[in-house]
Amino acid sequence: MGRLGAAGRVSAGTIVSLHRWPVKSMGGERVDAFVLDERGVAGDRTHAVFDVHRGAARQLTARQAPRLLAWSARYDEPGEEMDPAAAAWPVVTAPGGAEFEWRDPALREALSDDLGRDVTLHRDENGQQDLERSLLVTTGASHAALEAELGRTLDLRRWRTNVHVELDAPARAEDGWEGRALTLGAAHMALLHPCVRCVIPARDPDDQTKDAELLRHLSRHHSGVFGMNARPLGRACVRTEDGSTVSVTPISAAVRSRSTRSSAARPSSAAP
């Protein structure tokens, strides 16, 4: 855990990249800016593919269907213009390059054929993250340290991060920041807890081959976690331009109160 610096600061740095994932478990897009509010990033994981499992509808992810990672999705609307309460409709690109607007009936047919199962498409503007009303933050130091430990490069897309930052803190320092406050430019949020990784980071984003050693290494040496879950405390636009600053500080009573109210706004549940 970092020591307190100026004005009680634990760490500071800059935003390196921003990412949003329009369709859960599909490839996403790197953006220069996005709007967020208490739900998370506007348009992030607001769309998902469902199938039927044991007679009930199930949200389908790359855990059950790794082939989903071969598909990708983007928004044509700039990130700074998207309203979290009215996300745009994504454009989905198939592995062969064909493009479909989300409402096109041909998309469901193409996905069903490619995945080898009947699927339906679902949209929820509140987001469909595994941890609701949250986003994921990763740090350059921790990513580089893991690459050094494994002796090879790792594609950042494996982590499906929303915000990648460079901080004046050592690798894995964020693992001890639960309950602190994070500021990204004009955006304020509460840091929740380290992200326990499922099997998805083990899949190569391009060819979906499985790297079991990555998960074994995380489990043996880092308690199976990578990255930090955070909960936005209000609406703001986050940008990479102009070297937008990042700071981590002890959480104030006011921020703690806002985080508690946000957590109570909707019952907590994890998507399968």
- For residue 108, give its domain range: 46-123
**For residue 56, what pLDDT is reported?**
92
* Residue of 121, 115, 84, 125 lying closest to 101 (CA atoms): 121
Residues 148 and 52 occupy one common structural domain: no
Same domain, yes or no, for 86 and 141?
no
Same domain, 135 and 118: no
118 lies in the same domain as 239:
no
Q: What are 179-227's pLDDT values in tens digits?
A: 999 999 999 999 999 999 999 999 999 999 999 999 999 999 999 999 9
Final residue of a structural domain among 93, 123, 153: 123
Q: Mark whether 166 and 248 lie in a shared domain.
A: yes
Contact between residue 163 and residue 191 where contact means Cβ atoms under 8 Å apart: no
Same domain, 165 and 85: no
Is there a single domain that holds both residue 10 and residue 53?
A: no
Are 203 and 161 within one domain? yes
Total domains in the fold of the chain: 2
Alpha-carbon distances, residue 221 vs 149, 154, 216 (angstroms): 10, 17, 8
- Average pLDDT over the chain reads 90
pLDDT tens, 119-152?
999 999 999 999 999 999 999 999 999 999 999 9
